[in-house]
A = this chain, B = another copy of it.
């Protein structure tokens, strides 16, 4: 089967946890996920972390490193799952995945002083979202 995340067959636990994250309007933390799926039989942190690891690996979700939280990928162009960019509101904590061809091209082609290129990256922008700017 292809590894492109739109078609990867999830296991039961993976599907339960993905559905929860996918429905959530905001990034979810692991133990909040655990609390929410206990009624579905997922009882232990490890069950959650294992599913999260896999979902990250196949690009269905991303980890917001500065928040230790997870969001579903809604960027059909980021199937590689290893080149991600987000904007984070420092007031309301709203997180949005950025899908900018220009940005991803710039970063994918970026070379450091030694001429090294890096195919994987994670970029987190911080500021105020539209709503919070107006307040």
A98-B112, A103-B110 known; A87+B118 contact, CB < 8 A = yes
Q: Is the CB of A127 within 8 A of B122?
A: no
Q: How many copies does the complex hold?
A: 2
Contacts of A117 in B (CB 8 A): 127
| Main SS class of interface, A | mixed
Q: Is the CB of B118 within 8 A of A125?
A: yes
Interface residue tally on A, bucketed by range: 20 to 34
Q: What 1/0 mask marks residues of chain A from 122 to 135 whose CB sits below 8 Å from any chain B CB?
A: 11111101100100
Q: Which residues of A contact B (CB under 8 A)?
A: 65-66, 82, 87, 96, 98, 100, 103, 106-107, 110, 112-114, 116-127, 129-130, 133
